[in-house]
Amino acid sequence: MKLTIEVWRQENAEAEGRFVTYRVDDAAPEMSLPELLDRLNDQLVSAGEEPIAFDTDCREGICGTCGITVDDVPHGKVPNTPTCRQHLRSYDDGDHLKLEPFRSASFPVIRDLMVDRSALDRVIASGGYVSVDAGTAPDADTRQIPFQVAEAGLDFSACIGCGACVAACPNGASHLFSGALLSHLTALPQGRPERARRARGVVSTTEEEFGPCSVYGECVEVCPAGIPISAISAVNREAARAAVRRRRDD
């Protein structure tokens, strides 16, 4: 199949970006989006041009590295599917695709389709962990965790940290990401002793780094890990709870 692809090209963070139109004449329905870019880059390198920079790694939807906005939708046409699992069979011969980076004030462009998502890691570093040193943990079988509780924790910890929720949000909020982080550790007993402390850290960094949430729900439309929308309420709930706990950590 023949495709026309409009791609955002930007040399570096400071440079002005622009769309450049390319054609791929031998695209095939079984190709994934990163494979389409591999094909296009091969054309570019053969022609002596600089290839399109894009983030990609596991190519099976679990590492969260890839993230391209396709025709204004983070990750692409198929809902709740990461870029690397979007295939060209969703398109027809002669179609036109527009590829650009995840768009958010919190994600500065590094080059072409790559953005800096380290703000998400700063949220984690501000408290999104359990403070237990290696070797000091109690026997995991002495801590009984009901089946449903473990499953609920897993529903939230499934987040792959790709940042599509931020890119989809008109406000650039990371509440789905931050809320999944809080909900995961709040669901499990392991996370309880520092629940309030964690909430203070995570919520304040979330507010510093990202926009406010207006509960549009655009985030859950694109989330490749299927994080439930209830995650976003955890941000305000945990913040309020932490405020009531005053100086207590738990």
Partner 1 sequence: MNTFRRIGDRIRSTFGPDSEAVSKPQTDTPDPAAAQGDPAGTPDPPARGHDASRDRTEPPANHGTRGAEGFVGYAGEPLDGNIPDGDPLTAWARRKLEYKLISPLNRRKFKVIVVGTGLAGAGCAAALGELGYNVVSYTFHDAARRAHSVAAQGGINSARARKVDNDSLERFVKDTVKGGDFRAREADCFRLGEESVRVIDHMDAIGAPFAREYGGELRTRSFGGVQVSRTYYTRGQTGQQLQVAASRSLQRQVGLGTVDLRTHREVLDLIVDDGRARGVVVRDLYSGEIEAETAHAVVLCTGGYGNVYFRSTLAHNSNVTAAWRAHRRGAYFASPSYIQFHPTALPVSSHWQSKTTLMSESLRNDGRIWVPKKSGDERPANQIPEDERDYYLERKYPSYGNLSPRDISSRAAREEIEAGRGVGPLRNSVYLDFRDAIGRLGRKTIEERYGNLFEMYFDATGEDPYTEPMRIAPGAHFAMGGLWSDYDMMTSIDGLFVGGEAGWGYHGANRLGANSLLSACVDGWFTLPYSIPDFLAGHLGEAPLSLDHPAVQETMAEVRERTERLLSIGGTRGADHFHRELGEILYSGCGVARTEAGLKDALERIRELRGQFWSDLRVPGTGRQLNQELERAGRIADYLEMAELMCLDALDRQESCGAHFREESQTADGEALRDDDGWCFVSAWEHTPGRDVHPGKPVRHVEPLDFRAVPLQTRNYA
Site for partner 1 in 21-40 (CB under 8 A): 28-32, 34-36, 38-39
- Give 48 or 94: the residue with its C-beta nearer to partner 1: 48
Q: Does 20 bind partner 1 (CB under 8 A)?
A: no
- For residues 39 and 1, give the distance between their C-alpha atoms in angstroms, rounded to a whole number: 13
Residue 60, burial from CB neighbour count under 10 angstroms (0-12, 13-18, 19+): exposed
- For residues 60 and 34, give the distance between their C-alpha atoms in angstroms, rounded to a whole number: 11
Q: Count other Cβ atoms within 10 Å, centred on residue 152.
A: 18
Q: Does 72 bind partner 1 (CB under 8 A)?
A: no
Q: Does 63 bind partner 1 (CB under 8 A)?
A: yes
Are 97 and 70 spatial neighbours (Cβ–Cβ below 8 Å)?
yes
DSSP label of 49:
P
Which residue of 83, 101, 117, 169 would you call a contact of partner 1, by CB under 8 A? 117
Stretch that binds partner 1, among 60-68, 167-175, 216-224, 226-234 (CB under 8 A): 60-68
Are 6 and 33 spatial neighbours (Cβ–Cβ below 8 Å)?
no
Which residue of 9, 59, 237, 241 would you call a contact of partner 1, by CB under 8 A? 59
Stretch that binds partner 1, among 107-115, 167-175, 212-220, 237-245 (CB under 8 A): 107-115
**Binding-site string for partner 1 from residue 164 to residue 193, where x marks contact by CB under 8 A and - marks none:** --------------------xx-xx-xx--
Chain Cα centroid distance, residue 240: 25
Phi, psi torsion values for 229, nearest 5 degrees: -65, -20
Altogether, the residues listed in the chain come to a count of 250
Q: Does 157 bind partner 1 (CB under 8 A)?
A: yes
Which residue of 6, 9, 62, 80 would you call a contact of partner 1, by CB under 8 A? 62
Q: Does 135 bind partner 1 (CB under 8 A)?
A: yes
Minimum distance, C-beta of residue 109 to partner 1, in the bound complex (Å): 11
Q: Does 106 bind partner 1 (CB under 8 A)?
A: no
Site for partner 1 in 204-223 (CB under 8 A): none
Phi, psi torsion values for 76, nearest 5 degrees: 130, -170
